[in-house]
C-alpha cells in the first residue's frame, strides 16, 4: 500500500486527488495538508467526504511528511514546492508537484512569466515533465515529477502528433482555450463569485498567460524547433472542463484519414486518449469526471488550415487524475489503477 | 457474472445504469435496449461511452431478452413494463422496473393518478417496493422489484424513522421538493430547453404530481395510519440532484439528540444514508454522482415543527443506483458492489 | 429633477438602483457612495456602465450628502443607516433605507434577530414600511422609508389578501422560499463562489432567517392577530429571482374563482402585481429585470390546504425597483416612472 | 406611430423584438405572426408579456400584413422571406429580414452555403446589408434591409476598422466565436435540452458555418480584397451573449494607442460601440440586454499578432436591437429610440 501525503488538499485539485485516491486500491492518504484549515475535520471542509474520510487537516510540514509517506503531492500555488523540496526529502520520498515550479526547463523563462525567484533551480533538470503519454519512461524512474498544467495538458496532447510529424507550420499555431471555473481555484475573490461568472464569458490573460511558455516548450521539443504561439484562455460558466480549439496551417495536402493515421501512430495504444470519428467534435461534458482526452479535427480546404479540438476534465487529466497516473508509473503499478472513471453524463 | 439487459438504455436513467454497471465487477450488460435508436451504436448516442461500450441499440423484445439475461431493467415510461411482463418472463429472469407500474399496491390509485389502465395487476401484490433500506429482506427474495421514484426515495427516507416512531403528526406533513432537470427526461420538449430552464425556478404538478400517492402509501405503512399530504415539486436549473424540505408538527417536545437517536435506530448501519451533524443542511452537490442520501433536520421551538431536509442524486439513489442496489440484494452480492461512488465536487 | 445619492452603490442592489435610476426621467444620481471603491471610477467597478455613468465612487458621508441631494438610498448592511441618520439629515432630505434597520416596529425583536444594538430607535415609529401596495398613503408622506427585504416582499404580497380576509389559518402558514444568488451580495466568500453554488441547491438559515419576523409582523397586521410561521430560504444556482411557495390550511371551502376575487379586491388596480390564470404557476424567469410580482395558487381538496406561489426579481421588486417605487410616491410622481421594465426572456 | 408586423414573433429573436418595440415610443406592434401558435394568446406563449401584450398569434400572411403595417420584420428561418417578398409588398411596406436571405450579394454563395434555391434573387442587389454603423446612409433609403446575423455582427464590427485601414493581413484572420444558447433557437431538439448544454462547451459547424461567407464578404468590402478566413462557433452554457476572439498578423509595428486611434476614426461617434480601455477584455455579461458592442484588443509583440475581442447580446445587437436600429434609420427617427437599454448586471 502506497502511503500518500497531500499538501494543499482543500483546493479543488487537492479535493479531486482525495476523491480519486479514495478509490485507488493500492494507495491510502496519510496526510491531508491544508494550511487554511489546520485541525479542522477534512469532511467538514468537503462534506461530500462525510463518513468517507475521517481525518483532520494538517500543516504543510514537508520534512515530517517525507518521513511518513511514500509520495507527496503538492497541490499548491507556484513557489511553495520549490521552497520546500530538498535532497533529504527527495531521498526519502517521491514528489509529484501539481504547481508550475518544475515544468519549465529554463529558469529564466519561469522567473520572467511567474515573476518570482525560483528557490530550487538545482532540481529543474532532474524533474520530469509528467505528461505520461509523452514521457512515460522517464516518469517511471523519476523522484520528482512536474505535473503539467490543465490548459497545457489539453493544448499539448491535442497538437503533439502533428508537431512531431511535421504536419503543421508551427509558426501559425494559435490556441483558443475555454475553461470551467474550478480552474480558477477556491480562493474567495469577487471575480469568481457565482453572479460574476454565471451567464458570462470572457477572455483573460491575453498574450500573457503563464501556461504559454509551457506549451511552447513541449511542442517545441516535439517539433524540433523553437515555437512561439498565441494562447488565449477564456472563462466559461461551468464547473469543470477545458476545450482547446487550435488552428494551424497545414504544410501539405492531407486527408482526414492521413491525419488520423498520424494520431494513431502516437496514441494508438493510449487508453486515455480517444481520437474521435470524422465530423465529431469533442465536448467537455463527455469526459467529465474522467481521465480521458477527447480529440477531434477538421481540415479546411478553403484556408489550408487544420482545426484541432481537444477536451479534458481540468481537475482529472488536467490535474489530479494525471498526478495519479504519474504515481502509478513511478510505483510500477498498472497505469490506469484508480482511473477507470467512466465520464458522468449529464 | 450476472447478465443484464436494459430496456430504455438511452434515457438519462438508462444511461446512468450503463455508467454504473460498467464499473460493476459481477455484472455485464448484454442488451442495450432503445426503441428510438435501434441499430445505432450506443456510444454514438452517449459519447461519454466512446471506446468503453461497444454495442448497438436493440429493440424492446422482452421475450427474447428474458432468454438471454439474468435481470432486466426497464427504464421506460409507465405502462411499458406492465404491458410486457408475464409469468414466462418472470420464470426465466428477474425484473427491476424503474417505472411506476408496480410501486402502488392499490391498482385504483395507480389508475387514478396515472390515467392509464394497468395491464398486469396480477403482479402488483408479488412486486416488492425496492426501497432497499426499508424492504431489504423482501427484495432479496423478489422476482419483480418496483424501483422507487426519485422524489419518493428522497421524500420517504427523509421522514421514515419519524413516521415509524410516531414522532410527528402525519396530517401536518408537507413536502416541498426541488429537482435538477435530468428528472424531466431526455425528450425533446420546449419546456426542457436550456434557455427555458436556465436562470429560472418554478413549481409544477402542484397538488397533482404522481409521486404523491407513492409517498403517502409508504409513509402510511411506516406510521400505521392513512397519510394524506402535500407534495410540491420544483424544477431547478441544474443537471442532477433532489432536495426535499419537509415540515411537520412534532407530537412532543424533543431535543436534536433524541431525534438523531431515532434516525440512528433506523439507519445506524446503513452505508448509503448519512445523517448529518447538528446545524448542517444537506446540499445536493455533496451527493452528486453517488448513491448517498444526506439527511439533516432542525427543530423550531417557536412553531413546534421539525424541518427535515434530504438530498440525493436523482439519477443514482433516485434511479439507477438504487436499481443496482436492488440487483445486488436479489443476487446475493454485497449490497454496495459497484456503488462505491465517491460524490464529485465541484 | 430629483437629486439622488446612493450609499452602497457597488453592491448588487446598489448597482441595480443605478441601472434603474439611469432610465428615470425625473431623477439623477449625484453621489455614488462606496466605501470599498472610494475614488475609483464607477464604470470600472461595473463595466456595464462604461460610457453611461461618468463618476467616481465617494465615501459614506451622510451629512455632506444630505446637503446635496433630495433623497438618499442606503443599500448597505444592517446597522449603517441607523448609525448615521439624524434629525438634521431627515430635515434636509428623504431617506430610503434598503437595510433592515427600520423594518421592524419592535426594537427588541430587531435586536434579538439581528444581534446588534439599534442605534436610532427613536425613528422606528416614524419610519414607514415601504411595501407600496400596502402602505401607499403612508409612504407618500414619509421622510424615512424602510424598504422591505427581498424574501419578505415576495412572501408577504403572495399571502396578504388571504391573511387580510381571514381565508387561511395563520397558525398553519409555512413559507418555503428559493432565491437566486445575487441575494447573497457581492462579498468575496467561498460559499458564494461559482463552483460552490452552481449545480447545487441547499436550504440555509433554517428556522433562524432574519426575514422571518418581518413577514410575521406584516402578515400579523393584515390578519389582526399574532403570527408565528416557518420560513425556509434556499439558494438556487441562478443570478436573480425569488420564488416563494406557501402552504396554509383553508378556513372554509372555497373555489379558485372565490380566491381570485379576494386577490382582485386587494390588487385589482395594482400595476405591478399580476395574479395569473388558473393552473398557471409563476416562474422567476417571467419577471426577470422587472418590478412585477407574479402570483399563482392552487387549492388542494385532498388536504384542505391552499398552495400559494409568488415570484419576483429580488433585485428589482425585492430591492431597487421597490425603492424607486417608494421614491416616486414620496415625490408625488407617477408610481411607475422609471419602472416600465419589460421582463427579459430568455 | 409606426405600425409594425412581426413574422416569427414567438422565436427568441421575435420575442426580443416584442420586448424592445413594447418600449419604443414611436412604434406599435399590429401583428404577432407565429405559424406554430395561430390563435393562441401571445402572453400564453411568453408569459413575461402577461398584462403587457393583449393579442393573439396570427398566421404568416405577408400580403394581408403589408396592407396593414408600415414595416414587417421577418424573424424566421432562411428561405421564408425570399419566398414571400414581392414588388407589391415592397411598394406598400418596408421589410427588415432577420434571416439570411438577402445578406449575401452573390446568390451562388448563398445557395452553396445554405443548400436551398433562392426564391427572389431579383431583390438581392436592392437589399441593404443592415449593419447600421457601416451602411447607415443606405439603410435610411432602403425598402428591404437584410439584418445581419448575430455572429457576423460581432465578428465584423470587431475587425472592421483594422480591415478598412489595412492594419492586418487579412489572409491570417481567424475568428473563434462563443455563443449563448438562445442563438440556437426555440426548436425542441435534444441537442438544446438543458442537460445537454449545461456544464458543457463544444465547437460546432467547424469550417462549414453559414455565417462564414457573410463575414468574408463584408470584411472583404472593407479591406478591398477577397477574404477567406476561419470562423469557428462554440456553444456556451448561458442564455445570451456572443464573444468573438479574433487573431490576425499585424502588417506593421503599431502601439495600442495607434490602434485605438484607428477604432476612434471609425467609431468615435457611435453610441452603440464601446472601445474599452487598454487591458480591459470585454465580457458578454456587461452588454446583456443592451444594444452595445464592446471591443477590446491586445497586441502580442512576441508573435506579431493582434488579438481582438468583441462582445454583444446576440438577441439585441445580434438580432432584434439592430433590427429596431435599422427601423429607426429607415423612418427618420433618432437611431437609438427604444434602444436606451442599460445592460443588466448580474
What angle, rounded to 10 degrees, do the helices at A321-330 and A132-141 form?
40
Give the closest residue to B218 by CA, choosing from B159, B138, B296, B280: B159
Over the stretch D32-70, which tens digit does the pLDDT of each residue have? 999 999 999 999 999 999 999 999 999 988 999 999 999
> Which chains contact A through at least 3 pairs of Cβ atoms less than 8 Å apart?
B, C, D
Residue B39 near residue B56, CB atoms below 8 Å:
yes
Are residues B236 and C239, on separate chains, in Cβ contact within 8 Å?
Answer: no
Shortest Cα distance from C149 to chain D (angstroms)? 19
Give the burial class of A154: count Cβ atoms within 10 A of its Cβ; 0-12 exposed, 13-18 middle, 19 or more buried.
Answer: buried
How far is it, in rounded angstroms, from Cα A231 to Cα A208? Answer: 8
Shortest Cα distance from C241 to chain A (angstroms)? 12
In this complex, the residue of A19, A22, A276 whose CB is nearest that of residue B50 is A276
The grid cell for C194 is 461559482
What angle, rounded to 10 degrees, do the helices at D12-22 and D321-330 form?
50
Give the burial class of B23: count Cβ atoms within 10 A of its Cβ; 0-12 exposed, 13-18 middle, 19 or more buried.
Answer: middle
pLDDT at residue D60, as a whole number:
87
The grid cell for A259 is 491525419
The residues on A that touch B, with CB distances below 8 Å, are 12, 15, 19, 22-23, 46-52, 182, 199, 239-240, 274, 276, 280, 283, 285-290, 294, 340, 342-346
Return the sign of the alpha-carbon dihedral for residues A55, A60, A64, A68. positive
Are residues B48 and A287, on separate chains, in Cβ contact within 8 Å?
Answer: yes
The grid cell for A226 is 523553437
How far is it, in rounded angstroms, from Cα D207 to Cα A299? Answer: 8
Interface size between A and B, measured as CB pairs under 8 A: 73
Shortest Cα distance from D44 to chain B (angstroms)? 13
Shortest Cα distance from C317 to chain A (angstroms)? 19
| CA-based nearest residue in chain C for residue B249 | C172
Q: Which residue has the cell 490573460?
A: A205
Over the stretch B295-338, which tens digit does the pLDDT of each residue have? 999 999 999 999 999 999 999 999 999 999 999 999 999 999 99
3-state secondary structure of C43: helix
Name B144's Cβ contacts closer than 8 Å, sequence gap at least 6: B85, B90, B94, B95, B97, B102, B123, B126, B127, B128
Are residues C238 and B198, on separate chains, in Cβ contact within 8 Å?
Answer: yes
Is residue C132 among the annotated active site residues? no
Q: Which residue has the cell 426519485?
A: B150
Residue C174 near residue C230, CB atoms below 8 Å:
yes
Residue A5 near residue A59, CB atoms below 8 Å:
no
| CA-based nearest residue in chain C for residue D18 | C342
- Report CA-CA distances (Å) from D292 to B206, D19, D282, D306: 41, 17, 11, 22
Residue C320 near residue C20, CB atoms below 8 Å:
yes
pLDDT at residue C216, as a whole number:
98
Q: What's the ipTM?
A: 0.97
Interface test with A, best of D177, D202, D250, D281 (most A CBs within 10 A): D202
The grid cell for A345 is 453524463
Query: pLDDT averaged over consecutive 10-residue blocks of chain A (346 residues)?
Result: 98 98 98 97 98 96 94 96 96 98 97 96 98 98 98 98 98 98 97 98 98 98 98 98 98 98 98 98 98 98 98 98 98 98 97
Q: Which residue has the cell 441537442?
A: D191
Shortest Cα distance from A260 to chain B (angstroms)? 16
Chain centre distance of CA C47: 25
Are residues D286 and C50, on separate chains, in Cβ contact within 8 Å?
Answer: yes
Residues of A in contact with D346 (CB under 8 A): 195-196, 198-199
Give the closest residue to A60 by CA, choosing from A46, A73, A41: A73
Are residues D194 and B237, on separate chains, in Cβ contact within 8 Å?
Answer: yes
Residues of D in contact with B197 (CB under 8 A): 194
Phi, psi of D345 (to 5 degrees): -140, 135
- b/e per residue B33-59 (b: at least 16 CB within 10 A): bbeebeeebbbebbbbbbebbeeebbe
Are residues D50 and C286, on separate chains, in Cβ contact within 8 Å?
Answer: yes
CA-based R_g, chain D, Å? 20
CA-based R_g, chain A, Å? 20
Residues of A in contact with B342 (CB under 8 A): 19, 22-23, 48-49, 52
Give the burial class of C224: count Cβ atoms within 10 A of its Cβ; 0-12 exposed, 13-18 middle, 19 or more buried.
Answer: exposed
Please provide the DSSP assignment of A86-151 as one string.
Answer: -HHHHHHSEEEE-SSTTT-S-HHHHHHHH-S--S-GGGTTT-EE--HHHHHHHHHH-SEEEPPPHH
| CA-based nearest residue in chain A for residue C199 | A239
| CA-based nearest residue in chain A for residue B342 | A19
Give the burial class of D137: count Cβ atoms within 10 A of its Cβ; 0-12 exposed, 13-18 middle, 19 or more buried.
Answer: exposed
> Residue B113 region, left (φ>0) first, then alpha (ψ -120 to 50), else beta?
alpha
Interface test with B, best of A9, A50, A268 (most B CBs within 10 A): A50
Q: Are strands A305-312 and A2-7 parallel, antiparallel or unpaired?
A: unpaired
From the CB of residue A116, how many other CB atoms can be counted at a distance below 10 Å? 14
Q: Are strands D305-312 and D293-300 parallel, antiparallel or unpaired?
A: antiparallel
pLDDT at residue B60, as a whole number:
87
Are residues C284 and B201, on separate chains, in Cβ contact within 8 Å?
Answer: yes
How far is it, in rounded angstroms, from Cα A159 to Cα A309? Answer: 9
In this complex, the residue of A230, A238, A311 whose CB is nearest that of residue D237 is A238
How far is it, in rounded angstroms, from Cα B229 to Cα B217? Answer: 11
The neighbouring-strand residues paired with B57 are: B32
The residues on C that touch D, with CB distances below 8 Å, are 12, 15, 19, 22-23, 46-52, 182, 199, 239-240, 274, 276, 280, 283, 285-290, 294, 340, 342-346
The residues on D that touch B, with CB distances below 8 Å, are 12, 181-182, 186, 188-190, 192-199, 237-239
Over the stretch C242-297, which tens digit does the pLDDT of each residue have? 999 999 999 999 999 999 999 999 999 999 999 999 999 999 999 999 999 999 99
Could you list the active site residues of D?
150
Find the helix or strand (DSSP H, E) in which C293 lies: strand C293-300
Please provide the DSSP assignment of B182-220 as one string.
Answer: GGG-S---GGGBHHHHTT--EE-STTT-THHHHHHHHHH
From A57, A150, A154, A266, the catalytic residue = A150
How far is it, in rounded angstroms, from Cα D267 to Cα C300? Answer: 61
Residues of A in contact with B290 (CB under 8 A): 48
Adjacency order of strands within the sheet including B27-33 = B57-58, B27-33, B2-7, B71-74, B94-97, B144-146, B128-129
Are residues D193 and B188, on separate chains, in Cβ contact within 8 Å?
Answer: yes
> In the structure, what pLDDT confidence band is assigned to residue D24 with cuts at 50, 70 and 90?
very high
> In the structure, what pLDDT confidence band is assigned to residue C60 with cuts at 50, 70 and 90?
confident
Over the stretch D155-196, which tens digit does the pLDDT of each residue have? 999 999 999 999 999 999 999 999 999 999 999 999 999 999
Q: Are strands B242-249 and B174-179 parallel, antiparallel or unpaired?
A: antiparallel
Phi, psi of B117 (to 5 degrees): -80, 140
Under-50 pLDDT residues of chain B: none
**Helices in chain B by DSSP H: which ranges?**
12-22, 42-45, 62-68, 80-84, 87-92, 107-114, 132-141, 150-164, 194-197, 211-223, 256-267, 321-330
> SS in 3 state form for chain D?
CEEEEEECCCCHHHHHHHHHHHCCCCEEEEEEECHHHCCCEHHHHCHHHCCCCCCEEECCCHHHHHHHCCEEEECCCCCHHHHHCCHHHHHHCEEEECCCCCCCCCHHHHHHHHCCCCCCHHHCCCCEECCHHHHHHHHHCCCEEECCCHHHHHHHHHHHHHHHCCCECHHHCEEEEEECHHHHCCCCCHHHEHHHHCCCCEECCCCCCCHHHHHHHHHHHHHCCCCCCEEEEEECCCCCCEEEEEEEEECCCCCHHHHHHHHHHHHCCCCCEEECCCCCCCEHHHHCCCCCEEEEEEEECCCCEEEEEEEECCCHHHHHHHHHHHHHHHCCCCCCCCCCCCCCCC
Count of helices and strands (H, E) across chain C: 12, 14
Give the closest residue to D144 by CA, choosing from D161, D122, D116, D164: D122
Residues of C in contact with D280 (CB under 8 A): 47
Residues of C in contact with B155 (CB under 8 A): none
Average pLDDT, chain D: 97
Are residues B48 and A290, on separate chains, in Cβ contact within 8 Å?
Answer: yes
Over the stretch C145-192, which tens digit does the pLDDT of each residue have? 999 999 999 999 999 999 999 999 999 999 999 999 999 999 999 999
pLDDT at residue A83, as a whole number:
94
How far is it, in rounded angstroms, from Cα D307 to Cα D120? Answer: 39
Interface size between B and C, measured as CB pairs under 8 A: 145
pLDDT at D71 over 90: yes
Interface test with C, best of B233, B245, B249 (most C CBs within 10 A): B245
The neighbouring-strand residues paired with C175 are: C231, C246
From B57, B81, B132, B150, the catalytic residue = B150
Q: Are strands D144-146 and D94-97 parallel, antiparallel or unpaired?
A: parallel
Residue C130 near residue C94, CB atoms below 8 Å:
no
In this complex, the residue of A51, A289, A346 whose CB is nearest that of residue B274 is A51
Amino acid at each position: 500500500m502506497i502511503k500518500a501525503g497531500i499538501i494543499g488538499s482543500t483546493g479543488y485539485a487537492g479535493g479531486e486527488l482525495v476523491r480519486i485516491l479514495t478509490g485507488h486500491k493500492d494507495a491510502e492518504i496519510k496526510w491531508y495538508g491544508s494550511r487554511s484549515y489546520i485541525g479542522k475535520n477534512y469532511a467538514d471542509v468537503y462534506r461530500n467526504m462525510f463518513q468517507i474520510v475521517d481525518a483532520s487537516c494538517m500543516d504543510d510540514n514537508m520534512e515530517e511528511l517525507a518521513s511518513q509517506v511514500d509520495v507527496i503531492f503538492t497541490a499548491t500555488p507556484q513557489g511553495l514546492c520549490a521552497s520546500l523540496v530538498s535532497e533529504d526529502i527527495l531521498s526519502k520520498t517521491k514528489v509529484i508537484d501539481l504547481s508550475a515550479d518544475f515544468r519549465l526547463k529554463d529558469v529564466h523563462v519561469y522567473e520572467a512569466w511567474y515573476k518570482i525567484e525560483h528557490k530550487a533551480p538545482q532540481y529543474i533538470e532532474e524533474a520530469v515533465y509528467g505528461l505520461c503519454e509523452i514521457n512515460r519512461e522517464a516518469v517511471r524512474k523519476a523522484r520528482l515529477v512536474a505535473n503539467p498544467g490543465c490548459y497545457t495538458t489539453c493544448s499539448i496532447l491535442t497538437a503533439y502528433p502533428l508537431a512531431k510529424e511535421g504536419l503543421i507550420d508551427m509558426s501559425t499555431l494559435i490556441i483558443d482555450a475555454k475553461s470551467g471555473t474550478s480552474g480558477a481555484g477556491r480562493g474567495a475573490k469577487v471575480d469568481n463569485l457565482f453572479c460574476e461568472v454565471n451567464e458570462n464569458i470572457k477572455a483573460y490573460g491575453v498574450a500573457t498567460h503563464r501556461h504559454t511558455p509551457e506549451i511552447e516548450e513541449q511542442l517545441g521539443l516535439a517539433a524540433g524547433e523553437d515555437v512561439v504561439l498565441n494562447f488565449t484562455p477564456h472563462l466559461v460558466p461551468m464547473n469543470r472542463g477545458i476545450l482547446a480549439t487550435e488552428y494551424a496551417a497545414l504544410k501539405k495536402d492531407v486527408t482526414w484519414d492521413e491525419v488520423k493515421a498520424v494520431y494513431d501512430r502516437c496514441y494508438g495504444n493510449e487508453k486515455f486518449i480517444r481520437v474521435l470519428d470524422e465530423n465529431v467534435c469533442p465536448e467537455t461534458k463527455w469526459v467529465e469526471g474522467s481521465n480521458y482526452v477527447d480529440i477531434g479535427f477538421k481540415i479546411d480546404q478553403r484556408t489550408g488550415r487544420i482545426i484541432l479540438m481537444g477536451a479534458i476534465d481540468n481537475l482529472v487529466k488536467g490535474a489530479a487524475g494525471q498526478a495519479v497516473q504519474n504515481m502509478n508509473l513511478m510505483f510500477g503499478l498498472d497505469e490506469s489503477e484508480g482511473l477507470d472513471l467512466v465520464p458522468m453524463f449529464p
